[in-house]
């Protein structure tokens, strides 16, 4: 199956699933991804606006990867691995996950620091968003971040999201209760059209 937009083409193969942009493959997780993701999740600059700036433990890293694998095989989506098409470098992750509690669907991305400032997050997010809306037919998606995360907010604007709420993490019954957050959202523009073949 294949569909195209102005920005990229996404290809889905029955044998091996992947999404493809001009520069990247967005694919399911594999065991060899652990060390690359571990470096990402333990980098203070990457984690500045995640987990109160604290690096993830090995246990949490393995749990996250397992959750993404399970989510993909059960539901057909996850936070994909973003991989450079030419050199097969691990660039980061991007895709849809469950923001739990309260349980809504959220699109998010982490990009390795050496790839910052090159439009990688925007390119990957557009592809993941297109697949989520056009193939899986989610009615809408949200994206949550710290108001200080200007780079991530810029990506949200570029992919069409609009701010819906400014408040605290406690508004979603999560802790730390008074951690400032902003929530952006976007409705699926394809819902009144037939699914792409």
Q: Which residue has the tokens 């699914």?
A: 195
CATH code, domain carrying 90: 3.40.630.30
Per the structure, the complete domain to which residue 132 belongs is given by 2-139
Domain assignment present for residue 130? The answer is yes
For residue 63 the two structure tokens come to 């749990």
Domain assignment present for residue 186? The answer is no
Strands, E assignment, the chain: 2-4, 9-11, 19-20, 24-27, 79-84, 90-99, 104-111, 140-145, 162-168, 180-187
Q: pLDDT per residue over 84-104, tens digit each?
A: 999 999 999 999 999 988 899
Provide the whole-model pTM: 0.88
3-state secondary structure of 150: helix
How many domains is the chain partitioned into structurally? Answer: 1
What pLDDT sits at residue 84? Answer: 96
**Mean pLDDT, rounded, for 140-159:** 98
Domain assignment present for residue 88? The answer is yes
For residue 99 the two structure tokens come to 């923001």
Q: Please tell me the distance from the alpha carbon of residue 54 to that of residue 126, in angstroms, as a whole number.
A: 28
Domain assignment present for residue 144? The answer is no
What residues contact 163, with CB distance under 8 A and at least 6 apart?
Answer: 182, 183, 184
Q: pLDDT per residue over 166-187, tens digit each?
A: 999 999 999 899 999 999 999 9
Domain assignment present for residue 146? The answer is no
CA atoms within 13 A on the CB side of 23: 15
Domain assignment present for residue 157? The answer is no
Which of 39, 185, 182, 179 lies closest to 110 in space, CA to CA? 39
Domain assignment present for residue 158? The answer is no
What pLDDT sits at residue 47? Answer: 95
**Mean pLDDT, rounded, for 116-137:** 96
Which of 96, 124, 103 lies closest to 112 in space, CA to CA? 124
């Amino acid at each position: 199956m294949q569909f195209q937009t102005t920005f990229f083409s996404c290809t889905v193969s029955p044998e091996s699933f992947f999404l493809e942009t001009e520069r990247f493959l967005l694919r399911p997780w594999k065991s060899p991804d652990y060390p690359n993701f571990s470096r990402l999740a333990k980098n203070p600059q990457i984690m500045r606006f995640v987990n109160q700036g604290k690096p993830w433990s090995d246990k949490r890293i393995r749990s996250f990867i397992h959750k993404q694998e399970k989510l993909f095989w059960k539901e057909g989506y996850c936070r994909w691995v973003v991989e450079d098409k030419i050199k097969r470098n691990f660039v980061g992750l991007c895709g849809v996950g469950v923001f739990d509690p309260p349980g809504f669907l959220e699109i998010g991305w982490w990009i390795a620091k050496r790839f910052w400032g090159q439009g990688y997050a925007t390119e990957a997010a557009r592809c993941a968003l297109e697949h989520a809306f056009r193939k899986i037919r989610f009615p809408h998606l949200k994206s949550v971040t710290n108001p200080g995360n200007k780079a991530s907010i810029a990506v949200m604007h570029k992919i069409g999201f609009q701010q819906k709420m400014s408040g605290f993490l406690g508004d979603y019954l999560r802790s730390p209760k008074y951690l400032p957050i902003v929530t952006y959202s976007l409705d699926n523009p394809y819902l009144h059209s037939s699914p792409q073949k």
